[in-house]
């Protein structure tokens, strides 16, 4: 049975939004398996540290729900993001939204994605934007967003596995950074940022000195 052309035209935007939604979630979830600090650094397009200044949500021109996040970047150990505001959109709404037609859009941010809150200081390992939608989230999803509390950084999982299964060449890291490996729970923020910067700037992953 063939659908009338009018019906096809009406269905096309919704179908396209669904296709883009599935592609975006699939792309992001591809990085969701447990990752340690070396894997997060390697799979990140950019790494930024700064304060979340604004969080809002909406629906884009393709019908995709998004959460928009702005970070006042203070430090960017990896990538081309400089100091100042960096804004990106992550898939999903902050909460269900009532539409003009009376229906409720329930496509909130998936549970394994990070949640963002204004005024929190974060270190974000940003995965590359989705090819078809431009939506972006963190490498490893919630693993790749660390929040600073009392000068210590931790992700949603209290850094479980973050410093496990890493091989380091002798003498490559200062003692304070070396001590992070095998640790559990929140870690001193300044030391972790120093470690990230050391790994990136020294190209330790590329040189095979840490893996």
Q: Where residue 31 falls among pLDDT bands split at 50, 70, 90?
A: low
DSSP secondary structure, 25-74, as one string: HHHHHTT-S---HHHHHHH-SEEEEEEEEEEEEEE-TTS-EEEEEEEEEE
Sole residue written with tokens 């700037």? 201
Look at 178 and 29; give whichever has higher pLDDT: 178
**Strand pairing partners for 153?**
148, 187
Q: How much is the pLDDT for 203?
A: 98
Q: Where residue 12 falls among pLDDT bands split at 50, 70, 90?
A: very low
Look at 119 and 26; give whichever has higher pLDDT: 119
In a domain, residue 209? The reply is no
Query: What percentage of the chain has pLDDT greater than the value 90?
Result: 77
CA angle 61/63/69 to nearest 5° reads 75
In a domain, residue 211? The reply is no
Asked if the model's pLDDT at residue 99 lies above 70, the reply is yes
Rounded to an integer, the average pLDDT of 100-111 is 90
Cα dihedral 84, 90, 92, 94 in deg (nearest 10): -20
Asked if the model's pLDDT at residue 188 lies above 70, the reply is yes
In a domain, residue 210? The reply is no
In a domain, residue 206? The reply is no
What's the structural domain count of the chain?
A: 1
In the predicted model, what is the mean pLDDT of the chain? 88
DSSP secondary structure, 177-193, as one string: HHTTTT--S-EEHHHHH
Q: How much is the pLDDT for 98?
A: 87
* Phi and psi, residue 120, nearest 5°: -85, 145
In a domain, residue 102? The reply is yes
Q: Where residue 122 falls among pLDDT bands split at 50, 70, 90?
A: very high
Q: Where residue 102 falls among pLDDT bands split at 50, 70, 90?
A: confident
Q: Where residue 19 falls among pLDDT bands split at 50, 70, 90?
A: very low
Task: Give the domain range for residue 88.
Answer: 5-201
Rounded to an integer, the average pLDDT of 113-127 is 98
């Amino acid at each position: 049975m063939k659908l009338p052309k009018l019906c096809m035209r009406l269905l096309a935007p919704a179908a396209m939004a669904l296709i883009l939604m599935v592609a975006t979630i699939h792309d992001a979830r591809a990085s969701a398996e447990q990752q340690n600090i070396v894997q997060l650094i390697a799979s990140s397009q950019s790494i930024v540290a700064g304060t979340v200044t604004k969080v809002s949500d909406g629906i884009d021109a393709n019908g995709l729900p998004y959460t928009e996040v702005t970070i006042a970047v203070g430090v960017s150990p990896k990538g081309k993001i400089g100091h100042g505001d960096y804004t990106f959109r992550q898939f999903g709404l902050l909460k269900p939204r009532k539409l003009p037609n009376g229906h409720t859009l329930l496509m909130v941010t998936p549970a394994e994605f990070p949640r963002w809150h204004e005024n929190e200081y974060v270190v974000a390992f940003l995965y590359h934007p989705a090819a078809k939608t431009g939506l972006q989230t963190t490498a490893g999803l919630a693993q790749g967003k660390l929040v600073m509390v009392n000068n210590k950084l931790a992700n949603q999982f209290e850094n479980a596995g973050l410093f496990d299964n890493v091989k380091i060449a002798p003498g490559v890291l200062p003692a304070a950074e070396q001590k992070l490996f095998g640790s559990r729970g929140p870690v001193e923020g300044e030391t972790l940022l120093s470690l990230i910067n050391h790994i990136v700037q020294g190209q330790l992953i590329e040189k095979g000195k840490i893996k």
